[in-house]
Amino acid sequence: MRFRVLGLTGVMLMVAAGPAAAHHSFAMFDGESKVTLQGTVKAFQWIYPHSWIVLMVRKSDGSLEQWPIEMGSPGGLAREGWQPKTLLPGMNVTAVIHPLKDGTPGGQYLSVTFPDGKTLGLGNLIGTGGGEEAEGGAQ
């Protein structure tokens, strides 16, 4: 009986630990830096486990550069006020992100400011000032 209880406990622990092991780290983002991007929404993907914004940012040479921005889960975003149609293709927005450490375009969402001045995200709680200057429409 004792071995049966220990075995069942072990199985329960492995099942409970599965989702934690499946979740990736955010180590690829530079959590010490913030970048402010001004661009046009190409896509807003309201999907699990993480939603995404694909933002087209104009570089200093006039060409467009695609910036994928990783967000939280739809459930967490809904608690911030997001909905599946909050962002639509063609919208001009300002996003504050933690950039990727390797310097490629992309990052982790902190906040988004809409054309009407409304801001959603952690950036409006922790401040969005002091973003680093990047090329073109990014700072």
DSSP string covering 99-125? EBTT-SS-EEEEEEE-TTS-EEETHHH
* Token pair belonging to 132: 């680093």
Total-model pTM: 0.73
Nearest to 44, CA basis, from 52, 34, 35: 52
pLDDT at 26: 66
Contacts of 12 (CB under 8 A, 6+ apart): none
35-126 classified as CATH 1.10.10.10:
no
Query: Per residue in 72-113, pLDDT tens?
Result: 999 999 999 999 999 999 999 999 999 999 999 999 999 999
Residue 129 has pLDDT above 60, yes or no: no
Find where tokens 């975003």 sit.
77
136: left (phi over 0), alpha (psi -120 to 50) or beta: left
Query: Per residue in 16-34, pLDDT tens?
Result: 444 444 555 668 899 999 9
